[in-house]
Amino acid sequence: MSATPSRQESQESRDEILRAASRLFASRGFHEASMSEIARQARVSKALIFWHFKSKEELFVAVIKRLLEPFSIDFATEAQELDEREQLKRLIELYVQFVRDYTGSVRFFLTRLLRDDPEQQGPASFTEQIRVLYENYRNLMVDLIKRGQEKGVCSRRLDAETAATFLLSTLNGLLVDVLFLRTPEASFGNILATLESVVFTQAPTASADPGTGCANG
């Protein structure tokens, strides 16, 4: 805990910088987050940042990498013995949980996604990375629904692709509501239940469920 630099403290200062940078990039965006401010918050000199990372852009990329880490859920091995219904529920739960836990990062991602101008970007671009991640999650969902439909657990009213899009859209929308418009989360559970009533067939495993699924006039 002294001012004597060592191999190990180098790593620590690097981390400190990444933490400060994450915070600032997330709350202000790339351009409004200044290197001086990052340095101040990380309690190091600005020059040290440029010693660790050769440009602001490189620092940014490092931050992104770090934020993206928790996304790599090894879902396949995590929830193998559950049936399709429960696996799907768990997948949705993971999504909601992730957004809750990493709200800052999600905001950050969305901001970047929104800003990056349409099309024409290298395949290694940030937008592309996120799209791939999202696609993977989505594919997992499509597979689950397909298998669920084969076993009669999922409704066939929509094909799996459409059902997944529907599911994800509503989840994303809920996310937008809470994140952007700051709607109270009151109706959240209710809505998830409705969602489930759309993708699943009638519940075999009973749970606290007020509505009985299908209303007619």
Which of the choices DNA, its own copies, none does residue 203 contact, using the CB cut-off of 5 to 8 A by kind? none
Position 19, amino acid = R
Among 23, 28, 29, 51, binds DNA (CB under 7 A): 51
Q: How far apart are CA 203 and CA 216, in angstroms?
A: 19
Task: Determine contact, residues 112/126, Cβ cutoff 8 Å.
Answer: yes
Span from 14-22, 53-61, 63-71, 164-172 in contact with its own copies (CB under 8 A): 164-172
Which of the choices DNA, its own copies, none does residue 22 contact, using the CB cut-off of 5 to 8 A by kind? none
Q: How far is the CB of 134 from its own copies (least distance, A)?
A: 6
Q: How far is the CB of 37 from DNA (least distance, A)?
A: 6
Closest CA to 9 of 43, 54, 41: 43
H-only helix segments in the chain: 7-28, 35-42, 46-52, 56-68, 75-78, 84-101, 103-115, 126-150, 160-176, 188-199
Closest CA to 163 of 96, 95, 99, 88: 88
Contact flags string 27-46 toward DNA, x per CB under 7 A: ----x-xxxxx------xxx
Span from 10-18, 112-120, 135-143, 199-207 in contact with DNA (CB under 7 A): 10-18
Contacts of 123 (CB under 8 A, 6+ apart): none
Positions in the binding site for its own copies (CB under 8 A): 27-29, 31-32, 107, 110-111, 113-115, 117-118, 131, 134, 152, 155-158, 161-162, 165-166, 168-177, 179-183, 187, 190-191, 194, 197-198, 201-202, 211, 213-217
